[in-house]
Amino acid sequence: MDKPRRERKDRNDQGSEFEERVVEISRVSRVVKGGRRIRFRVLIVIGDKKGKIGYGIAKGNEIAVAVKKAVSFAKKKMIIVPVVNDTIPYEVNQTLGSARVFLKPAAQGTSVVAGGVVRVIAELSGIKNLLSKTIGTSNKVNNVKTVFLALSSFDPAKVEIVKKRYADKKVETTLIVDTELDTEKQPIVEVAPQSKVDGSMTQVADIAEAGAEVIPAEAKAEKTEKSKKIVKSKAVKK
């Protein structure tokens, strides 16, 4: 009977795949017959930085107990965010009560232009480039709920269209790079005249097979003589 319990304990002791961020810790009190009862409320966001995130709110007599409960609640309410090219697929507006959130995709190198709650959620979901604005309220609980509604409202059909568009762009860039590499100038190798290669052109054939441009030494000597004559004629004119 004890062995299965030990296995379950070892399984719980393993490191979690999600990173945890405490967004807010607030102290709440309740008046009871004997006086005031003080507890702690914790708001936590978790994520694996690969598009999977969740949030949880819990109360407890101690902060550690509240954090543990909030993490367990967050794992039960996970959502998957479609991350395309390190940003969101398209811009979205979301309203919840008095809280309004505007999220817009950004180009590579922009980073996350956001503050507070939106930055934490974006980092945990794996979004590296984002433009955002929160309007209406500074309540962190309502802002977290609004951001999660916005990130879970993407249309799968539109997301697939955006993914195909980025995939086509990547294919075009790779093709351009390949053509540029092919059109680069080949290396030039000087080859001695036929008389100096023991009466055979095996050396020339081997170099030509390697893809290099073959220029005999005699032709190079003629070019140098012509260039010297041109220089001398210019000097005489002066």
Q: What are phi and psi of 167, to 5 degrees?
A: -65, -40
Ranges 28-37, 198-207, 224-233: which has the least confidence: 198-207
Q: Which fold has domain 92-170?
A: Ribosomal Protein S5; domain 2 (3.30.230)
Mean pLDDT of the chain, nearest integer = 77
pLDDT at 94: 92
CA separation for the pair 228, 222 (Å, rounded): 10
229's tokens: 């004559």
DSSP-assigned letter for residue 196: G
Q: At residue 87, what is the residue type?
A: T
What's the CATH code, domain 2-80?
A: 3.30.160.20
125 or 7: whose pLDDT is higher?
125
Is pTM beyond 0.75? Reply is no
Q: What are phi and psi of 179, to 5 degrees?
A: -65, -35
Ranges of each domain in the chain: 2-80, 92-170, 188-237
pLDDT at 114: 87
Confidence of residue 14 (pLDDT cuts 50, 70, 90): very low
The pLDDT tens digits of the residues spanning 151-206 come to: 999 998 988 988 888 777 766 666 565 565 555 545 544 444 444 444 445 554 55
CA separation for the pair 150, 186 (Å, rounded): 54
DSSP-assigned letter for residue 180: H
- Domains 2-80 and 92-170 agree in fold: no
Whether the pLDDT of residue 112 is over 50: the answer is yes
Whether the pLDDT of residue 132 is over 80: the answer is yes
CA separation for the pair 81, 126 (Å, rounded): 9
Whether the pLDDT of residue 91 is over 80: the answer is yes
195's tokens: 């008389």
How many Cβ atoms are within 10 Å of 37's Cβ, its own excluded?
12
SS3 31: strand
Whether the pLDDT of residue 26 is over 70: the answer is yes
